[in-house]
Amino acid sequence: MNLPYPPGPLNQLNQLARIIEEKKRTQDQPICAYLYDLEGLSRHAEEVTRALPPSCRLFYAMKANSDPEILKTLSGRVHGFEVASLGEVMKARAASERIPVIFGGPGKTDEEIRGAIEQRVTLLHVESMHELKRVEHIAAAMNRTVSILLRINLSGPFPQATLAMAGTPTQFGIDESLVGEAIQLALSCPHISLEGFHLHSLSNQLDWRSHLALLAYYFDKVDGWSGQYDINISTINVGGGIGINYADIGSQFGWSEFADGLSRLISERNKEGTSILFECGRFLTAACGYYAAEVIDIKKNHGKHFVIVRGGTHHFRLPVSWQHNHPFAVVPLDIWNYPFERKEIKDSDVTIVGQLCTPKDAFARDVPIDRIRIGDVVLFLYAGAYGWAISHHDFLSHPHPEHMYLTNTSVLT
């Protein structure tokens, strides 16, 4: 199983190119749009979910992309949504009144805790001793019992990954040294039901073997706490953290190998009766999204070529946030409405930038390119996660990009 699904087999790129060219012929403004392949997303989510062992549940981490069409597509194809605010709870409920929702995040307000209870959130991930006391206080006032997981900031050591949420000083979870105190406090609260632990520690893990070893480490920790404190655990949330290889898009996380290894691990550790939760975001939606930006100028400064596109990192912040060269394809357009020559670059290194008044507004620096012209479109791949959702949309007050949704029968805008 090749996952995530390849973002640009020839027929798909040709389809996108046709859509972009047709769009260009109907408007005078430069192309600037997000395109989402909803059919591909649907197939991908179903394959990822189907590969998991029976005791596992896959929740979509909405922080990656909470677009309503994305949520509608994923609803029914994943086991639930993972949210980090009351606003995301309400988006989840707009997509489905019945889908299970789990709620995490290090700074929940009383309003959010109360709202989570009112909206029938399945599990609340408690991130501090103070938060635990507030959940009990609010639940008691509402005469409700709240099912929780304690998020523990483990000491590690952990495998290498892009971001660390645990094993280092961060704002996430309860320090592992306080786990006994947290368990005892949770068990003493009459309006709290302690179901287990949340142990998300790493982000953008690309090696399935390392990730499997991480889960074995989690299981060891939970088994130790269960024995030491004589508690029965029904649920372990292992978080997300499964990444996308933007540097080599043909080499992605081996999901099928991971799922097979996980099945063996669950059997070896007698975890068939424990619900294992995953919170995947980027891994589910990255490949379904494209950001299309038309080239509006090409220039050379101090020996380097710059390709300036309509849009910028205020639309698609991921590359500058992660400091990487984002993968792209060039869609050539033969439409040229000016009476003078059309500038182009061939067989050279270029830096692709946006319209913002900062040198940090860059998508890819010093990357080789065969040919690109003013009026062509740069199509950024793997733009379906942490793109529009995390961007500073109104910086400089440029127009927002169009959002287009591709199904097997039509293009929706």
> What distance in Å separates the CA atoms of residue 288 and residue 382, rounded to the nearest whole number?
7
> What distance in Å separates the CA atoms of residue 184 and residue 249, rounded to the nearest whole number?
46
With 0-12 CB in 10 A as exposed, 13-18 as middle and 19+ as buried, what is 224? exposed
Which two structure tokens, joined as six digits, stand for 312? 């910028």
Q: Which helix (H) or strand (E) holds 132?
A: helix 129-142
With 0-12 CB in 10 A as exposed, 13-18 as middle and 19+ as buried, what is 18? exposed
Let me know if 56 is a catalytic residue: no
Bond preceding residue 4 cis, omega within 30 of 0: yes
> What distance in Å separates the CA atoms of residue 135 and residue 195, rounded to the nearest whole number?
15
Residue of 32, 56, 288, 357 marked active site: 357
> What distance in Å separates the CA atoms of residue 203 and residue 155, rounded to the nearest whole number?
16
Number of Cα atoms under 13 Å in the Cβ half of residue 142 = 21
Q: Which helix (H) or strand (E) holds 352?
A: strand 344-353
Which two structure tokens, joined as six digits, stand for 274? 């424990």
First-last CA distance in the chain: 31
- Which residues are tagged catalytic? 357
